[in-house]
Structure 1
Amino acid sequence: MKRYCNHPAAYALIFFSAVLLIGCSKGTDQGNAPGSPQDPDATDKPRVALIMKSLANEFFATMAEGAKEHEREHADQYSLVVNGIKDERDLSRQVALVEEMVASGVSAIVIAPADSKALVPALRRAQKAGVVVINIDNRLDAEILEQESVSIPFVGPDNLAGAKKVGDYLAKNRTGDKVLILEGIRTSFNAQQRLKGFQAAMEEAGMEILDSQSAEWEMSKANTIASSMLSEHPEATAILAANDSMALGAIAAVKNAGRTGEVQIVGFDNITAIQQAIREGKVLATADQHGDQLAVYGIEAALQQIADQEKGEDQETPVDLIHKENLDQ
């Protein structure tokens, strides 16, 4: 025989419990739903992806730290996602990073492309998906941009002018007239521009370029190539390296050749190791494109474009000559 509870207090308890359950259910579905107005963690901040080249290169590690510091100082304005590739030549991975960031729903991509041509189609697709794209450090190829019918603002330094400053300083302080050049990746616009800057300075000074080869931005490769060039051209009195990593390789090559103090070396980037080499007289000069701020310039341009909902414009950023006399100023 079944027994039913008819006590008024029991009915009251059941009714009160039901009210609580309904109230909790409503709170879960609406009040605490991610992104709802009542959610204290909800945010409509834009997400900006920074995609760089090799983080093994101190220049890009410095760039990343500068960007992270900027994010900490402007945490209420945007959030940052930092990416880099292991190798300067790993173009497929950088393309994949662009696609991954678009798929993740970022608002903007700020990119230092490993190649001036190969990244353009992926970036065009990113723009088509509604992502703001800002090009920093290495300018994308103008012809390919036109072919792809895409306009991407460049925020960065005049690499030709920076290299010309370095080459001019070498010419004014030279110990000889015969030089060697270590180039960056030849399909990169900044490598092309730095080479032109070096060549222009040497031509104006009447200095002879004995050899010019690409070490693809890499220190170890620069060491090998510089060693070979010094062996083939013992009359060389200077090496112009298109970045500081290659300048470090040149320092080792000069030392191994027993020519420290005889062969002058210049670089480009002003990384910490080169600053010390300048103090020690192993490197004559370098160019500072303010790597700690370069990504910041791009991020600020991206945020401005998001706010204005209009296409951004190119912005030239500083590049300064660094040598022993002004290094610690």
Structure 2
Amino acid sequence: MKSLANEFFSTMAKGAESHQSENSDQYDLVVNGIKDERDVSRQVALVEEMVASGVDAIVIAPADSKVLVPALRRAIEAGVIVVNIDNRLDVEVLKQEGVSIPFVGPDNMAGAKKVGDHLAANRKGDKVAILEGIRTSYNAQQRLKGFEAAMQEAGMEIVSSQSADWEMSRANTVASSMLSEHPEISGILAANDSMALGAIAAVKGAGRAGEVQIVGFDNISAIRQAIEDGKVLATADQHGDQLAVFGIEAALEQIQSQASGSDVSIEDVETPVDLITAEILSQP
């Protein structure tokens, strides 16, 4: 996985571990993650370590959509089944490397569009800013497109769009600068909930709590509380606790397929992504 410092990925790990404990007769599980979302070289090294240790399958949420592909190609050549979750690997690089890796995950653009549409429908103004994820990540690119589509459709102006590398502290710094440079900002669309938390701190620091609406993506527990407290308007739930499970089940299916001699390739699987608002959280 990516950074285990991010609650979304620690939740993903717990979901995988829970699934394994309930299916301990079917497979053994090794959980790994990197400390920093940008530490792509460490994630490449983890892939190589797992191959060397003799695993049968790797389920990966890549920190970078392009850089991980050669390492995963080598894993496949070594006989390891690879399933891509969360952040889709780059299609062109996969073609260049001559490999096909199934993607199991949500439509990030559609999820971000739902969140953006909700902000537009409840807006306090027409000027917004976007906190992007790491720009080489496919899911960051798709969420940006979803936000942009929602704002364009609603006739709202994006006055600033910058990357905060998925990180809370970086988002606090970037959002603070945005609010200082563009005091007319009435909404901030954050491509993940960690950055939304940073935006909350920035808005508070600017003395604009209650004036600037914030939306996120991931539905971590801290954001659910912030939604209930009125500090965040909405987020998108891509069911992180189940995302790794969907990938694991796809990998197990492929292992069983190979064992039976049929060796049927895994197809891409689109998983759910749902809008989360205060109204939804208040439902029993």
2:92, 2:2 → 1: CA distance? 22
Structure 1 position 312 matched with structure 2 position 273 = no
Consecutive unaligned residues of structure 1, counting only runs of 5 or more, are: 1-51
Give the gaps of 5 or more residues in structure 2: 259-263
For 1:81, what is the secondary structure of its paired residue? coil
- The match for 1:40 is none
Letter in 2 for 1:313: E
Give % identity.
Answer: 81
1:262 and 2:242 equivalent?
no
Give 1:73's aligned residue: 22
Amino acid at match of 2:212: V
Task: Tell me what 1:325 maps to.
Answer: 279
* Shift in alpha-carbon separation, 1:99–1:89, aligned structure 2, 3 A: same
Match in the other structure for 1:17: none
Matches within 5 A, 1:78-227: 78-227=27-176
Higher relative contact order (CA 8 A, sep 6+): 2
Q: Secondary structure at the match of 2:88?
A: coil
Cα displacement string for residues 26-81 of structure 1 (whole angstroms, at most 9, x for unaligned residues): xxxxxxxxxxxxxxxxxxxxxxxxxx000000000000000000000001100100
TM (norm. structure 1) is 0.84
How far, CA to CA, are the matches of 1:308 and 1:288 in structure 2?
Answer: 31
> What is aligned with 1:28?
none
Residue correspondence of structure 1 range 13-24 to structure 2 within 5 A = none
- Structure 2 CA distance for aligned equivalents of residues 78 and 308 of structure 1: 15
Matches within 5 A, 1:220-299: 220-299=169-248
Distance in 2, matches of 1:143 and 1:185, equals 19
State how far apart, in whole Å, the 2-side matches of 1:327 and 1:74 are: 31
Within 2, Cα distance between the matches of 1:177 and 1:96?
45
Provide the residue aligned with 1:302 in structure 2.
251
| Cα shift readout 1:215-236 (whole Å, capped 9, x = no counterpart) | 0000000000000000000000
Tell me, in whole angstroms, the C-alpha distance in 2 between the residues paired with 1:290 and 1:328: 18
Structure 1 residue 284, shift from structure 2 partner:
0.1
Give the residue type in structure 2 aligned to 1:142.
V
Specify the structure having the higher radius of gyration (Cα): 1
Shift of 1:286: 0.1
Secondary structure of 1:287's match?
Answer: strand
How many Å separate the matches in 2 of 1:277 and 1:135? 31
Query: Residues 238-259 of structure 1, C-alpha deviation per residue, up to 9 Å, x if partnerless?
Result: 0000000000000000000000
Q: Which amino acid aligns with 2:189?
A: L
Matched, 1:57 2:14: no
Letter in 2 for 1:197: G
1:291 partner amino acid: G
Give the superposition deviation at 1:128.
0.4
How many pairs were matched up? 278
Deviations for 1:76-95, whole angstroms, at most 9, x for unmatched residues? Answer: 10010000000000001000
Cα distance change of structure 1 residues 328 and 67 upon mapping to structure 2, 3 Å threshold: farther
Residue 117 of structure 1: how far off its partner (Å): 0.1
CA-atom RMSD in angstroms: 0.5
d(CA) in 2 for partners of 1:160 and 1:66? 24
Q: Distance in 1 between matches of 2:71 and 2:125?
A: 46
Cα shift at 1:328: 4.2
Shift in Å at residue 311 of structure 1?
1.7
Structure 1 segments of 4+ aligned residues over 4 angstroms from their partners: none
CA distance in 2, matches of 1:257, 1:271: 24
Where 2:245 maps in the other structure, the secondary structure is helix
In structure 1, give the amino acid aligned to 2:187.
A
Alpha-carbon distance in structure 1 between the residues aligned to 2:30 and 2:275: 31
Equivalent-residue separation in structure 2 for 1:77 and 1:306 (angstroms)? 11
Deviations along 1:165-221, one digit per CA (max 9) or x if unpaired, are 000000000010000000000000000000000000000000000000000000000
Letter in 2 for 1:129: A
